[in-house]
Structure 1
Amino acid sequence: MILDNRGLEPPQPMMRTLAALETLKDGETLTIINDRRPMFLYEQLDELGYSYETAERNDGSFQITITKG
């Protein structure tokens, strides 16, 4: 699943991401695209036990791949 959060003002990207993560089953992945690096989201992901990888895209946005479990 890909969630494009570009163009949204905080805290909307984080709220949308956390809501989408609730639908994942163990081992499933969510990819989000944000205008900026989601520093506060990383703290939440660590607390909830998700793993994630971040890559900066050519347009300056960030792609974060989040895996449950």
Structure 2
Amino acid sequence: MTVVIDGRELEPPEPLQRVLAALDVLADGEEMRVLLYCHPVPLISILESNGYAWQETLLEDGTHELRIRRPRP
């Protein structure tokens, strides 16, 4: 199952808050897809410091798509 958070129309810090809340309940094997209009430097720092696997793709419309997976135990 993939959890999708579309933060493109949200004001900061709401996208970050929603992603952090969803990370707390992300199950093993689940993927989170996050859509934003900017490169999320604070989020990436949090993901890296907590061992999450992530990949960022810049879509044709300028959207930054992040795919995030829970770290393995």
Deviation at 1:45, TM superposition (A): 0.4
Q: Distance in 1 between matches of 2:11 and 2:25?
A: 23
Confirm whether residue 30 of structure 1 aligns to residue 38 of structure 2.
no
Q: Distance in 1 between matches of 2:4 and 2:10?
A: 15
Aligned length: 69
TM-score between the two structures when normalised by the length of structure 2: 0.87
Percent identical residues: 35
State the Cα deviation string for residues 26-47 of structure 1 (Å, max 9, x = none). 2321001011110110010011
TM-score between the two structures when normalised by the length of structure 1: 0.92
RMSD after superposition: 0.9
Runs of 4+ off more than 6 Å: none
Q: Distance in 1 between matches of 2:9 and 2:38?
A: 10
Q: Which amino acid aligns with 2:63?
A: S
Question: Gapped runs of 5+ residues in structure 2?
Answer: none
Counterpart residue number, 2:21? 19
State the Cα deviation string for residues 15-65 of structure 1 (Å, max 9, x = none). 111111111122321001011110110010011110100000111110000
Question: Gapped runs of 5+ residues in structure 1?
Answer: none
